Chain A
Amino acid sequence: MSIAFATPVIPDHVPENLIRPFPFVFGTITEADPFNEWVPEVHKGPDIFWTPHAYPGGTPAWIVRRTQDLRDLYFDTENFSSKDFSPYSKMIGDTWTNLPVEIDPPKHAMYRAFVNPIFTPKAMAALEEKIRSYAVEYIEAFRAKGECEYMKDFAFEFPIKVFLELMGLPLSLTPQFLEWETGLLHEPDMGKMAAAARSVVDYLRGEIEDRRKNPTGDIISYAVQAQIDGGRKLDDDELVGFCFNLFIGGLDTVSTNMGGQFAHLATHPEDQARLRANPEMIPTAIDEMMRAYAAVTTFRTCTREVEFKGVRMMPGDKVAVCTTLGGRDPEEYDRANDVIIDRKPKHVSFGYGPHLCVGMHLARREMRIAMEEFLARIPAFTLKPGHTLRRHLGMIQPVELPLVWQA
């Protein structure tokens, strides 16, 4: 992949011996196996290092590779702020902030108290049958063909459908949402990314306005009616920031993890057979695969001069919170690069600390149902012979995942 970056200016406080290459560049595609080829190499290096092109747009960031250091980083919200870690609002000249993910404590807790009730295990359990019916629909559409392109034919659209349902939006918007999502998260051209952001925001504003007038039982209606901060309503920027956060947090993440899990099952027939025979092991297996194929990297911005684990950082420095590295730290996990489906790991793939994924109960439910239904309906499957897996970097996601089986 050839992307030309400006020669980095190395700040004075960055010591020579901590400048390292880091192949995980946002917006690029690789044929290498980043999990098994690159991550173990990174774990042979320093605990924390500086690299010129890790932040979206090809700018520098510190990389923290140890699981425990990442946990400490997640909790150190005074020195490491989540503010403005994503580019979208600024990129289109807007003033909203992704909420709650880009709000720091203590204000963050007020927003979490507003978001939490939507995503409780109990609220998500009520969606079980709906989610299952969407999964079955996708799987039945390709079962008799003996093959599918798992990402395009299932993983991308499935979480979008669930999301549209929750937001009270028409299911016919599924292809439109997928196009926007791809533009926001996998588009190297900043102009096209901005255009996608603009479209999403315009659309969300229209829906918010509509629910003010015609509230229903959906999430947008809940948000326009909710009271925070001792009785006031959310303003326009807060409502857009909240909806946008769900959009970038709740769709591609699920598709990506589903892809990682099925790439594993397609290439590890013994695990596939074990889960097909013992579906009650699926939830535990999913958490182990979430550890081993963690895909999300978010960022923090250093707020003041700080020494973090012996490394001096300056205000404005970006720090990558790369769950991909945190999932395979050899000092945290025995045989970190082996997938042991009954391991029951404590991972940081949903984050850690105050910003821990508020959608995790929904995400786990979607992934579990997808795997239950697929394994129950499709016989032993493999990767299509001759196919070389390519992955997007940034959010580490299979570009295509062609699977074949005996129909």
Chain B
Amino acid sequence: MARITFVALDGSAKSYDAAEGVSLMRCAVDNDVPGIVAECGGACACATCQVLIAPDWLDRLPVAGPNEASMIDEDSGERGMVRRLSCQIEVTPELDGLVVHVPSSQY
């Protein structure tokens, strides 16, 4: 279990307990976090589950694979954070306390 906080575009934040092994995308979608579309259902094919994460968390996240990287523009970070596909990040105990921001657009 890890506590994950999602910050909406208007700055409002909500936290959820996510089970180990589920993806951040699943946690967001199951809790109806606005702005996480996830059109392909978690297959790394739609790039509509993008989130922003602060750089100091990066070493606790899996490295983006080639397929994920091929869909994210290098200069697409926002507010000093990097973009990742939330379906490609599984919840681990290490991610307890992670803060995830919804990006300004998925498209």
Residues of A participating in the B interface, judged by any CB pair closer than 8 Å: 71, 74-75, 109-110, 112-114, 116-117, 120-122, 346, 350-356, 358, 360-361
Residues of B65-103 at the interface with A, using a CB-CB cut-off of 8 Å, are 65-67, 69-71, 73
Cβ contacts under 8 Å, B70 to chain A: 112-114, 116-117
Kindly count the residue-residue contacts between A and B in the assembled complex, taking CB atoms under 8 Å apart: 56
Residues of B participating in the A interface, judged by any CB pair closer than 8 Å: 39-41, 43-47, 65-67, 69-71, 73, 107
Closest Cβ of chain A to B22, distance in Å, is 15
The answer to whether A352 and B66 touch across the interface, beta carbons within 8 angstroms, is no
Closest Cβ of chain B to A29, distance in Å, is 32
Q: What are 7 A-B residue pairs whose CB atoms fall within 8 Å in the complex? A: A74-B41, A109-B44, A109-B66, A112-B67, A113-B66, A116-B70, A354-B44
How far, in angstroms, from A358 to B70 measured CA to CA in the complex? 12
Closest chain A residue, CB of each to CB of B105: A121
Q: Is the interface of A mostly helix, strand, loop or mixed?
A: helix
How far, in angstroms, from A355 to B71 measured CA to CA in the complex? 14
How far, in angstroms, from A71 to B47 measured CA to CA in the complex? 17
Select which of A114, A117, A353, A361 is within 8 A of B40 by beta carbon.
A353
Select which of B45, B67, B73, B107 is within 8 A of A356 by beta carbon.
B45
The answer to whether B107 and A358 touch across the interface, beta carbons within 8 angstroms, is no
Closest chain B residue, CB of each to CB of A358: B45
Closest Cβ of chain B to A101, distance in Å, is 12
The answer to whether A116 and B67 touch across the interface, beta carbons within 8 angstroms, is yes
Q: Is the interface of B mostly helix, strand, loop or mixed?
A: loop
Known contacts A120-B73, A361-B107; A113 and B67 CB within 8 A of each other: yes
The answer to whether A71 and B67 touch across the interface, beta carbons within 8 angstroms, is no
The answer to whether B107 and A121 touch across the interface, beta carbons within 8 angstroms, is yes
Known contacts A113-B70, A120-B73, A122-B73; A354 and B45 CB within 8 A of each other: yes
Q: State the 4 A-B residue pairs at the shortest beta-carbon distance, nearest first.
A: A356-B40, A116-B70, A356-B45, A354-B43
Known contacts A110-B66, A120-B47, A121-B107; A353 and B71 CB within 8 A of each other: no
Closest Cβ of chain B to A73, distance in Å, is 12
Closest chain B residue, CB of each to CB of A352: B41
Cβ contacts under 8 Å, A116 to chain B: 47, 67, 70-71
Additional A-B contact list (9), CB under 8 Å, known A109-B44, A121-B107: A109-B65, A109-B67, A110-B67, A113-B69, A114-B70, A116-B47, A117-B71, A354-B43, A356-B40
Cβ contacts under 8 Å, B40 to chain A: 351-354, 356
Closest Cβ of chain B to A361, distance in Å, is 7
How far, in angstroms, from A120 to B70 measured CA to CA in the complex? 9
Closest Cβ of chain A to B45, distance in Å, is 4
Most chain B beta carbons < 10 A, residue from A74, A113, A355, A361: A113
How far, in angstroms, from A358 to B45 measured CA to CA in the complex? 7
Cβ contacts under 8 Å, B71 to chain A: 116-117, 120
Most chain A beta carbons < 10 A, residue from B39, B40, B45, B69: B45
Cβ contacts under 8 Å, B66 to chain A: 109-110, 113
Cβ contacts under 8 Å, A353 to chain B: 40-41, 43, 45
How far, in angstroms, from A350 to B46 measured CA to CA in the complex? 10
Cβ contacts under 8 Å, A74 to chain B: 41
Cβ contacts under 8 Å, A361 to chain B: 107
Closest Cβ of chain B to A38, distance in Å, is 27
